[in-house]
Structure 1
């Protein structure tokens, strides 16, 4: 996928491209830093437990497609791999799982085996399998699920799901343990244990486990990669995630993150980005062949596993000539804001459509300094000239203002096709922009909504700001934080505004000053109440832990809801949430199920429910990933093909990130769950009040799944997503909320801005 940010330089009328890069991988792909990517042998494995090199052969440990654990061995990354069944009947039964693996130079395997009993208690054991198939239990009754195992000179180190890292001798004697709930991966680097976390690299003395130093000075790219790797931890509950390796020859650690491959020299704190990954494949484990060659085991979105080589070496150049270049079409996709979720979506699409390259273009990002107004002006100039992107994601744009200009294609036939091919799509959302004459110029593929969460009997009548304020006033102050975990002005505005947006200015551009006044008054009422129940220390603590508001909203962030897991500890049983994606729903149902790691389900939270907010006309949703097609004839068929594909269950069943929204295709929701269940029980853990609660990334019961679908099906009133209207109100509401401007003055300022804009 190519991705470019663009804007019009008014004086010279030319376009500036940002960050071009090809995401299409054929047989080899040249990277920014010069490494090429070579796709090698495909592996017949359902699960990857570990990968390494023993003498001159690559060894991969995992579960076969038809069940049973196997060892694949091959001399070349592109050659045949011979398969051997691991004889483990004496140490594990059919319900046990191998969760981690390592191997020594002699070819012995060190396996972590996990068992769950009838009470859902998880215990682990470490097993050694020698080259002659002799099996030896090294350690037993480990009270956690083992996720990592690394060999040392005289023993091994394991990392557990609860964040505890333990060191053992080969005789099974525990030498020490380190508690680090934030750890992402571990590796042994000579006389040091290196621990990778979401924010830093920590080193410990390998002999006794005492901390040596904490390294936090990284560039932005590595910092972002570390955070992403931590947030992805636990998403694949079956396969390993060994993303950090030490190479003695170069005295460097190599870190394989989702954003790329990095080298880091501990001695001088120097980090180097070696390559940028251009595919969305999962990278499970890798071998450092040399400082310029790395051999990894990866998996694509369909579950196919293969060997991939990243190298500067000419030894792999021959693989370039074995594949003929295919005819390729290019579709250009634009969004007003750079959105990582759209990059992810496009990458997934490309992996299934080898004949199409998708070029991603955006107007505004964190670096280019372009205003929304200038970015929109640039887009409009291009469209009116009969040029511009093939597909426009209209989020933030005023769809109606484009309808009579002739720059957008009428999608009424496309909408009919989408409904016929995907009958489970939410009709209300699909019809958001359908006109009385039957014409349609934009179709939302996703949607978000605002919801209140709490005990069902108590939130049933919490349907507006006055009732939520009354409810909060009836409760004691929480023991942990404030009532909503809102500590920024923006939290209040962004959660509440969508409920009022279409009544302030409706889709046709009709403005109601009285509704704007009511919104500002209600916003101030809720804000004043919560600030009176919040201390400055709480605000400071929150910011220190979670960063600025802009960082929160870009993450898959659970802080607004997670205190509800442990209401007895937190004193919280209410949340007011922007339900942006499936992940918020997964978290809610996890809270409702209330399962602690290694324990039976609780029933304390079974009374929880969540209710979308709305008006007298019905529940409100914000249309998201709103797709329109340029009316120019060039490339129109490919653009339409791309748009229609985004409504299919195959595309809709994926989670692309925090910005896309909830699926519009309910078959896609069900397909997600089917895929998740085929992997086992994917999820992670959330620590609240000293307890670790299971946070599932799927719907645990059909009841939960259908309840989520029912909630989405009730959404029927679209909010107005026009970003310029939102920005005018948001930017001027701050002074009013802080008491630096009167309501009347604030209304007059916004009123003037809106009237000018609506007359344009």
Structure 2
């Protein structure tokens, strides 16, 4: 079955990052400590230990989960390969499952009534409507009395309404729809009535939590009482609870699945779980307590999304999640009073900037090494005004003094300087072992081989592509050829490049061409001159005013830790009339699927940006092992995990340096239906995203194998080039003055 998603895109990526919630103490767990410092100082014992519950094989996708008061679990979901829908029950907390195949039924949204083991299933259009599924698997069609979609613009005149979220609470069924309204549904008749008239917010998702449940709105989280049919005043007026969930609302996109909740037996206790861990709050109480640190579990991966949380007793909890690849998991957390509150072994990992991929790797490592605590240090948090130059200067002082971290994420750091000063260990043996066991893209590791040693290795990487009409790729795709091609187009007939901001434009080309700038002894001034000229030609091609350009917030390729696939965004921009030349980063297998999907429905082709003498790649999560930690078995194991499929399979951004992991990712690629439309109805785009075919995977592999040179991946150099280049693009500085400023500043920085 193909998951159909109806979305509206404006070429921007909205990234969800879980916020940090402070808590103290524990509940019903004796000696458990809440903070690393307290535990390590006092030698504390006791914490929740993770294990995984085996789920029914047929349920590759779980649409909804429910639990009865007696503890029976009910799941409804489908087999992604054949689209068959199944209902499953377990009376022993997931040790064994009984399951029944259901008749062919569209299932976009579902809700499980844990009390009787039944379910309600909703399709993604009015025709598929609603079906009621009894506990024994009998399916009954229900005449769902769904209101019409309330049009807000030309694009929505013919749009069908559908159910977007559904939960059972207190044996009642509640849903939301495209109108952002909450309804109570009679599951027997399909009659719908508006619920919670005292709430004026637009509700985009419901989260089950017993008789009271949460409403996720554009402005935050509200709580509703299913019995009274009104907002739950005792929870709405609970300042401590509102402060806690307010932090979640501010740091999450409120239609995300980054939190799950459940109520305690008394009805006065709320438990919730997110990437930061498991939390407890007594309604009306003065504190919110952290029971479990998410960073010590699989939940530390910020791309994990939550479906349901259940409490069996004070020492046993169960959470259903989807991982970054979309695979479903059920984790059990059992309190063990005999294990250390914080693992006694510790390694430190430093990164200039945080990323989802880094946390995913740490999560994979700690799952395999539960006795080791990974302490992550970020040089630029974005909250304290520290610049890249400041952070690097501080790090250099520690590293050169023989202190500093065990593992360095070298993205943006002056790695060549560290190699010259001998502060990085040789990783050649790790690369050789991983290559012999599972196969690596040795063209990437060869790019870092100097004098028989490999002192750094990017465990992920990506590249720049050019996308557009066939005559564009036929004309050539180096900087000079792009400049000439742009000059041959008539922007009055059709836009050439679009309204990208100055640093976004420069950043696209920097990633594509900066690999060719460095010589053995200096910097190639003429290469940078061509870089600036091409950027200026593209930037000026459509004569956009500065106020009409897309923001530069995405210029560095990161947005709150998420790697942006600019290639797909640029291709979408081209289809929307934004420009005939699309340039951007190709960052994942899903990006490749997107481009093939776009080009199968609309004409176009993409190819690697080829500077001529180099075919460059951007190293991502490039790791170095400090020489002082070369004999640290835990630090060595971190490098090994990063190179092998068991670590690689946890990560979702960038292409894997591990061939086995990339092959798995291609084989597990998923299908979906994508679409976009403008608010004024001037365009509507839709296309299918299909699984990567064997031929497409072969073509992708050949392209990745052709890459041979890393970009100039020093954050300080990149920042100063983009800063000076922006002045030139905006007409505030001449080409020669810009070139002179870049050369002087780069050479000064290199000398330092």
Query: What TM bracket, shorter-length normalisation?
Result: 0.7 to 0.9
Partner of 2:156: none
Equivalent position to 1:510, from 515, 522, 532: 522
Is the deviation greater in 461-470 or in 391-400? 461-470
Distance 1:521 1:382 in 2: 40
For residue 216 of structure 2, the aligned residue among 196, 208, 220 is: 196
Corresponding residue of 1:8: none
Q: Secondary structure at the match of 2:402?
A: coil
Greater displacement, 647-656 / 31-40:
31-40
Deviation at 1:395, TM superposition (A): 1.7
Specify whether residues 655 and 627 from structure 1 end up closer, same or farther in structure 2 by C-alpha distance, changes over 3 A only.
Answer: closer
2:511 alignment partner in structure 1: 498
Contact 2:32/2:47 (CA < 8 Å) preserved in 1? yes
Shift of 1:442: 1.9
Taking structure 1 as reference, are residues 391 and 719 closer, same or farther at Cα in structure 2, changes over 3 Å only? same
CA positional deviation for 1:511: 1.6
Map of 1:627 onto structure 2: 623
1:459-502 CA distance string (max 9 Å, x none): 322514454455556255699xx765654322112111123323
Q: Any conservation in 1 of the 2:145–2:191 contact (CA below 8 Å)?
A: no
Structure 1 counterpart SS, 2:382: coil
Instruction: Please state if 1:641 is matched with 2:637.
Output: yes
Output aligned runs, 1:147-226, within 5 Å.
148-151=165-168, 156-158=173-175, 168-175=185-192, 185-187=205-207, 195-196=215-216, 200-201=220-221, 221-223=247-249, 225-226=251-252
In the alignment, which of 587, 600, 619 is matched to residue 594 of structure 2? Answer: 587
The one-character-per-residue Cα deviations of 1:106-131 (angstroms, maximum 9, x if unpaired) are: x1512317699xxxx9935421415x
Once residues 501 and 657 of structure 2 are traced to their aligned partners in structure 1, the CA distance between those partners, rounded to angstroms, is: 31
Shift of 1:428: 1.9
How far apart are the structure 1 equivalents of 2:170 and 2:432?
66
Q: Does structure 2 conserve the Cα–Cα contact (< 8 Å) formed by 1:61 and 1:101?
A: no
2:119 corresponds, among 107, 110, 120, to 110
The answer for unaligned runs of 5 or more in structure 2 is 1-19, 24-29, 39-45, 147-159
Given that residues 364 and 372 in structure 1 are in contact (C-alpha distance below 8 angstroms), is that contact kept between their aligned partners in structure 2? Answer: yes
CA distance in 1, matches of 2:381, 2:162: 41
Provide the rounded CA distance (Å) in 1 between the counterparts of 2:32 and 2:316: 14
Query: Structure 1 pair 391/560, CA: closer, same or farther in 2 (3 Å)?
Result: closer
Q: 1:572 to 1:510 in 2, by over 3 A?
A: closer
CA distance in 2, matches of 1:550, 1:556: 6
Cα deviation for residue 333 of structure 1 reads: 2.3
Structure-2 change in CA distance of 1:243 and 1:19 (3 Å): closer
Alpha-carbon distance in structure 2 between the residues aligned to 1:223 and 1:19: 12
Partner of 1:53 in structure 2? 67
Q: Does 1:461 align with 2:471?
A: no
Q: What does 1:667-746 correspond to in 2, within 5 Å?
A: 667-676=660-669, 681=670, 683=672, 685-689=674-678, 691=684, 693=686, 696=689, 699-746=691-738
Change beyond 3 A, Cα 1:346–1:478: farther
SS of 1:345's partner is helix
Q: Which residue of 2 aligns with 1:342?
A: 358
Structure 2 CA distance for partners of 1:640 and 1:158, relative to 1, 3 Å: same
State the shift of 1:505 in Å: 2.8
The offset of 1:708, in angstroms, is: 2.0
Q: Is the 8 A contact 1:450 1:613 kept in 2?
A: yes
| Structure 2 residue 298 is matched with structure 1 residue 284 | no
Conserved? CA contact 1:40–1:307, under 8 Å: yes
Deviations 1:659-700 (A, max 9, x none): xx3222232211113344xxxx4556443347574674x744
Residues 534-557 of structure 1: CA deviation (Å, up to 9, x unaligned): 573x44xx559x999887574465
Distance 1:222 1:265, change over 3 A: farther
Deviation, structure 1 residue 429 = 1.0
Unmatched 5+ stretches in structure 1: 1-17, 22-26, 234-240, 310-315, 594-602
Deviation at 1:285, TM superposition (A): 0.9
- Other-structure match for 1:5: none
Q: RMSD across aligned C-alpha pairs, in angstroms?
A: 5.3
Q: Which residue of 2 aligns with 1:451?
A: 465
Q: Determine the structure 2 residue equivalent to 1:533.
A: 544
- 1:493/1:730 contact within 8 Å kept: yes
Matched residues in 1 for 2:746 and 2:259: separation? 53
Does residue 369 of the first structure (1) align with residue 385 of the second (2)?
yes
Would the aligned equivalents of 2:616 and 2:709 in 1 still touch at CA under 8 Å? yes
* Rounded Cα–Cα distance in structure 1 between residues aligned with 2:271 and 2:581: 44
The corresponding residue for 1:69 is: 86
The structure-2 alpha-carbon separation of the partners of 1:754 and 1:173, relative to structure 1 and needing over 3 Å to count, comes to closer
Q: For the Cα contact (< 8 Å) 1:247–1:288, is it kept in 2?
A: yes
> Retained in 1: the 8 A contact 2:348–2:375?
yes
Distance 1:350 1:722, change over 3 A: same
What CA distance in whole angstroms lies between the structure 1 residues aligned with 2:496 and 2:212? Answer: 44
Shift in CA distance, 711/426, structure 1 to aligned 2, threshold 3 Å: same
Are residues 467 and 344 of structure 1, via their aligned partners in 2, closer, same or farther at CA, if it must alter by over 3 Å? same
Could you report, residue by residue, the CA deviation over 1:234-284 in whole angstroms, capped at 9, with x for unpaired residues?
xxxxxxx9846689976898764444567999999x999887522234432
Change (3 A) 1:250 1:472: farther
Contact persistence 1:186–1:193 (CA under 8 A): yes
State the match for 1:597 in structure 2: none
Aligned equivalent of 2:401: 385
1:409 aligns with 2:425: yes
Q: Which moved more, 1:405-414 or 1:190-199?
A: 190-199
Give the Cα separation in 1 of the matches to 2:606 and 2:323: 35
Q: What do residues 350-385 of structure 1 show as CA deviations (whole Å, max 9, x unaligned)?
A: 213345443323322212433333433333333333
Q: Distance in 2 between matches of 1:624 and 1:752?
A: 28
Asked if 1 retains the 8 angstrom alpha-carbon contact of 2:497 and 2:580, the reply is no
Q: Judge conservation of contact 1:411–1:441 (CA < 8 Å) in 2.
A: yes
Distance 1:153 1:611, change over 3 A: same
Corresponding residue to 1:576 among 571, 583, 591: 583
- Corresponding residue SS for 1:669: helix
